[in-house]
Amino acid sequence: MHNNTYHSARHSEYWQQLQTLAAQPWSLAQLFAQDDERTTRFSSQAGALYMDYSKQCIDDTVLANLLSLADSCELSTRIQALLQGEMVNTSEQRAALHTALRLPETAELQVGAQDVVADVHHSLARVARLSERVRNGTWRGFSGQAITDVVNIGVGGSDLGPLMATTALDEWADTDIDVHFVSNMDGTQLDNLLKHLNPENTLFIISSKSFGTVDTLSNAKTALSWLLATAKLRAGTEDSVLRRHFIGISANSEKMSAWGIHPEHQLQLWEWVGGRFSLWSAIGLAIAIRIGMPRFKELLSGAHSMDEHFAQADFGDNLPVLLGLLAVWNSTFLQVNAHTVLPYDGRLSYLPSYLTQLEMESNGKSVTLHGDHIDYDTCPILWGEIGSNAQHAFYQLLHQGTQQVSCDFIACVRRYSTKVQNNAPLQQQHELSLANCLAQSRVLAFGNAAVADADKLSGEATTACDADKYKYYRGNQPSTTLLIDELTPHSLGALIALYEHKVYVMASIWDINPFDQWGVEMGKQMAESVHHAMQHEVDGQFDSSTDQLLQHIKQLS
């Protein structure tokens, strides 16, 4: 079924009913007081992921209407269209087949003339060969030295995904090769990094779907100049440097070749792989180098297990569906237009940044699939931080500010085996982190009532707190808690795929395309115009503010 034939949830009776329900006052304290079995009904599990959404401002009627809303826009059909390679990215006339990147080799998926599974696994085999050459020391730099450092040059999805996953899984690394990430256009990251690297044993991965992103290519050009400065002193050649120190990952092989990437060191993407959904592809080369191909495949397997859950589980027990519907309820109906992701695990330090791109670049849209202007709120503003750090940064606003904010708390249950000698102090720290995770979600939900209960348990008086207006906690901040049995490549894959599918569920309800990013493209085009004016002394070309700022820059240059 083509996307423009889907029914719109906006015009269903359930949308209207949800608007009516949202207008009534919602009190989490009252919802819990009236229902002893609330937590049992409003929780679900898929594999290693357990989700408690009982602290969301919903009841059975709201959930029933949300599930009916999903049916009204034919969400099941939309899910199948996504998984089967139909043209779900309508504005760019292509599929969005990131789920195919983690299909097992025994699966079958034919899209037009392309045997997708065969092509994906051919690419993975090349990733395996290249990563193993680097890992086992057979890949040599221009002076014959083995590679000790790998620098991934990319931006957006070509940076955030590999950076997030490599950081999260670093304890699974089984090589001394260090992996670094460079994304910033101004050169600060690269400049600071090159001061500490040896050009003779540094390998660069240039990751760019188009191989035309100015951020990435400007860093790549600087890296090449750095290498050549040393190689020429040692009688090396540019061709040797390009062949021995650069791998390209792109959907544009012509541009890779024109830049100088040797054909044997080019890894292919497909147009149906969106950048922010691409870490499962050759874009994940840096991950494979750091943790090895077998564990990279475990990451893919974990994501595939969530794909199967998404496709098969009833919506009432379907984690991505529930997570997406709750986000729609908060943003569109309750007007909770801010959302924060709070992982209580330092290994997930880059997850909030990754999800910021995944959700806001995907669903920050104001036009429907049919080109109509939207008259309802779509994607909320999203940000986040490691929970313990966030407590000392912006939790003040969450607890006592004037804004309503929905929260995702994420924590891993098991960490630091007690069987390992001297791990007891780390285990205690982990338990303290878990306690903080549960405590913060409790206070955000119940406010002063939770504080009073805690004081009773500790034997402390509550009178002063109750009487002091500066210590008032209103509570009623909605949250979901995701507990992961243990952080492994498999469970991390499932977690990432959970959020990918959440984005698709939200987009389906809002009737928008989550796979294009025309706003990003417009910014890039304007930057080219401004850069041209800066270089060629063009005056009076833009608005008065931009023209004045350009003049100020030129005067100081």
Q: Which two tokens stand for residue 479?
A: 């949250």
Q: Whole-angstrom Cα distance, residue 258 to residue 247?
A: 13
Q: Which of 350, 354, 372 is nearest to 503 (CA)?
A: 354
Q: Which two tokens stand for residue 164?
A: 């997030």
Catalytic residue (choose from 195, 196, 373, 392): 392
Angle at which helices 544-556 and 518-535 cross, to 10°: 50
Contacts of 107 by beta carbon, 8 Å cutoff, 6+ apart: 117
Burial (0-12, 13-18, 19+ Cβ within 10 Å), 186: exposed
Distances (CA, A) of 413 to 18, 71, 122, 386: 35, 34, 37, 16
Residue entry with tokens 């009841």: 59
Catalytic residue (choose from 298, 359, 361, 385): 361
Q: What is the DSSP letter of 313?
A: S
Residue entry with tokens 């699974």: 172
195 an active-site residue?
no
Distances (CA, A) of 175 to 39, 133, 135, 193, 247: 44, 12, 7, 20, 19
* Core vs surface per residue 16-54: b (16+ CB within 10 A) or e: ebbeebbeeebebeebbeeeeebeeebbbebbbbbbbbb
Q: Whole-angstrom Cα distance, residue 98 to residue 102?
A: 8
524 an active-site residue?
yes
399 an active-site residue?
no
Contact 285, 150 (CB under 8 A): no
* Core vs surface per residue 527-541: b (16+ CB within 10 A) or e: eeeeeebeeeeeeee
Q: Which of 285, 269, 299 is nearest to 133 (CA)?
A: 285
Chain length of the chain: 557
Contact 507, 514 (CB under 8 A): yes
CA 428 to chain centre: 30
Catalytic residue (choose from 524, 532, 552, 554): 524
Q: Whole-angstrom Cα distance, residue 358 to residue 170?
A: 22
Q: Whole-angstrom Cα distance, residue 199 to residue 193?
A: 11
Q: Which residues are known catalytic residues?
A: 361, 392, 524
